[in-house]
């Protein structure tokens, strides 16, 4: 990596940002430090620089300056598309933005949180307030998988991954977070489903080019989430010891069986999760139905008791 190229990219950005009118390529080659060599060399340099800045999210405006000569195009960067405006947020709003970003600093979104906080502090200096001690979100999601999913949704690019022991190829429509877990909403074989990101086995990979599919214009993520809450789940029948397992009791109703046990029905979507929940309660919760779930738990604790 050369210092010269970094310098040239900075100088090009500053020149395009400072100019009031569109600069032609020839003007850029003449006035911006760092462009030298034959016209072809400079041309190639400029095209590469422009592409790199754009790939980093900088919007470079292009305008034809002379309708008769297509080559004669002008370039500039609008200040309002590049920089935040000084009065864009009030002091109080900056405080709320800081609190909102702080929530995520231990989570899969920590890179975005950090970057946004640096920008907020570049507008306001350090923000000090009692209010900033808001809770932090700790999720168990890898930020790499989340960021691949996020970009694929934005760019409408297909994804492939292994899930519930099958290889999937899907068209991602959206993402949502609920109870600290992230879900990918995607179309697989003509039906739209939720995939829990934490349950993706191994890696998440993009397939093909961005824009190869179109998210249907009438797809409504909020409506999909509301409806998916009611999707068919399996039901486990549990025996719960009296006066025990209050965490479960606070979420699910029970029916009395005898002096020792109550009966509880719990809906679940992931076998591994209900197994973990049941085992967490140790001697106080026993699965009576379905048999497959019961047998899995039995085989796990047999292995544990054999050391």
Partner 1 sequence: MVDTAATRALRTMDLIPYILENPGISIRELAKQFNVTEKQIESDLQLVFMCGLPGYTPYELIDLVFEDGVVSIIDPQVLDRPRRFAKSELVMITLGLQILMELNQSNQDRLNKLLALANKITKLGSSNSILFSPTGNKSPFLEIITQGISQGKRIHLTYHSLIKDQVSEREVLPHNLYFMNGNLYLSALDLSLNSDRVFKVELIKKCTLGEIASSDVIDGESSAVEVVLHVRKSHRNFIERNSSIITATEEMSDHFGVHIQMSNLEWLKRSILSNAPGIKVVSPTILVGEVRQLATSLLASYQAVKAI
Considering only residues 56 to 115 of the shown chain, the ones binding partner 1 according to CB under 8 A are: 56-57, 79, 81-86, 92-93, 96-97, 99-104, 106, 109, 112-115
Q: Cβ of residue 68: shortest distance to partner 1, in angstroms? A: 27
Query: Which of 141, 202, 215, 211 has its CA nearest to residue 176?
Result: 141
- Own/partner contacts of 44-52, CB < 8 Å, gap of 24 or more, are 45/8, 46/12, 49/8, 49/9, 49/12, 50/75, 52/9
Q: In the window 260-279, what residues touch partner 1 (CB under 8 A)? A: 261, 275-279
CB of 247 to partner 1, least distance (A): 5
Q: Which stretch binds partner 1 (CB under 8 A): 36-44, 62-70, 204-212, 289-297?
A: 289-297
Q: The tokens 């999601």 sit on which residue?
A: 141
Residues in 178-217 at the binding interface with partner 1, rule: CB under 8 A: 178-181, 215
Which C-beta is closer to partner 1: that of 68 or that of 222?
222
Restricted to residues 123-152, the positions that interact with partner 1 (CB under 8 A) are 123-126, 130-131, 133-140, 147, 150
SS (H, E, C) 88-135: CCCHHHHHHHHHHHHCCCCCCCHHHHHHHHHHHHHHHCCCCCHHHCCC
Kind plus residue range of the DSSP H or E element containing 146? helix 143-155
Q: Which two tokens stand for residue 273?
A: 């999760």
Least distance from partner 1 to the Cβ atom of residue 70, Å: 26
| Smallest separation, CB 9 to partner 1 (Å) | 4
Size of the site for partner 1 (CB under 8 A): 113
Q: State yes or no: residue 221 binds partner 1 (CB under 8 A).
A: yes
Give Cα 144 to chain centroid, integer Å: 9
Q: Which is nearer to partner 1, 1 or 68 (CB)?
A: 1
| Helices 271-280, 291-305: inter-axial angle, 10-degree rounding | 50
| Residue span binding partner 1 (CB under 8 A) among the ranges 36-44, 63-71, 157-165, 243-251 | 243-251
Q: Please, which residues have CB within 8 angstroms of residue 126's CB and are 6 or more apart in sequence? A: none
Q: Which of 44, 119, 164, 209 binds partner 1 (CB under 8 A)?
A: 119
Q: How far is the CB of 179 from partner 1 (least distance, A)?
A: 3
Per-residue mark of binding to partner 1, 20-59 (x: CB under 8 A): -----------xxx------------------xx-xxx--
DSSP secondary structure letters along 164-205? TTEEEEEEEEEEEEETTEEEEEEEETTEEEEEEGGGEEEEEE
With H, G, I as helix, E, B as strand and everything else as coil, classify residue 55: helix
Q: Which stretch binds partner 1 (CB under 8 A): 37-45, 65-73, 163-171, 238-246?
A: 238-246
């Amino acid at each position: 990596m050369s210092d010269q190229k970094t310098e040239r990219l900075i100088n090009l950005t500053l020149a395009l940002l400072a100019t009031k009118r569109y600069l032609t390529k020839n003007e850029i080659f003449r006035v911006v430090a760092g462009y030298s060599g034959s016209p072809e060399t400079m041309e190639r340099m400029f095209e590469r620089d422009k592409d790199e800045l754009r790939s980093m999210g900088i919007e470079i405006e292009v305008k034809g300056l002379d309708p008769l000569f297509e080559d004669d195009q002008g370039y500039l960067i609008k200040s309002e598309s590049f920089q935040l405006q000084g009065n864009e947020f009030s002091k109080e709003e900056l405080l709320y933005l800081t609190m909102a970003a702080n929530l995520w600093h231990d989570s899969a979104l920590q890179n975005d949180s950090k970057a946004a906080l640096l920008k907020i502090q570049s507008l306001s200096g350090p923000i000090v307030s009692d209010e900033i001690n808001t809770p932090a979100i700790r999720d168990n999601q890898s930020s790499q998988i989340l960021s691949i999913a996020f970009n694929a949704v934005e760019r409408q690019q297909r994804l492939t991954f292994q899930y519930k022991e099958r290889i999937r190829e899907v068209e991602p429509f959206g993402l949502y977070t609920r109870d600290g877990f992230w879900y990918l909403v995607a179309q697989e074989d003509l039906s739209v489903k939720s995939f829990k990101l934490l349950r993706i086995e191994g890696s998440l990979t993009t397939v093909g080019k961005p824009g190869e599919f179109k998210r249907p214009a009438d797809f409504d993520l909020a409506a999909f989430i509301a409806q998916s809450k009611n999707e068919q789940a399996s039901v486990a029948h549990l025996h719960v010891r009296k006066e025990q397992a209050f965490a479960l009791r606070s979420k699910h109703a029970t029916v009395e069986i005898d002096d020792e046990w109550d009966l509880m029905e719990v809906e679940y979507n992931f076998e591994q999760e209900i197994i973990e929940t049941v085992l967490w309660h140790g001697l106080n919760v026993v699965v009576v139905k379905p048999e497959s779930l019961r047998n899995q738990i039995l085989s796990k604790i047999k292995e544990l008791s054999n050391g």
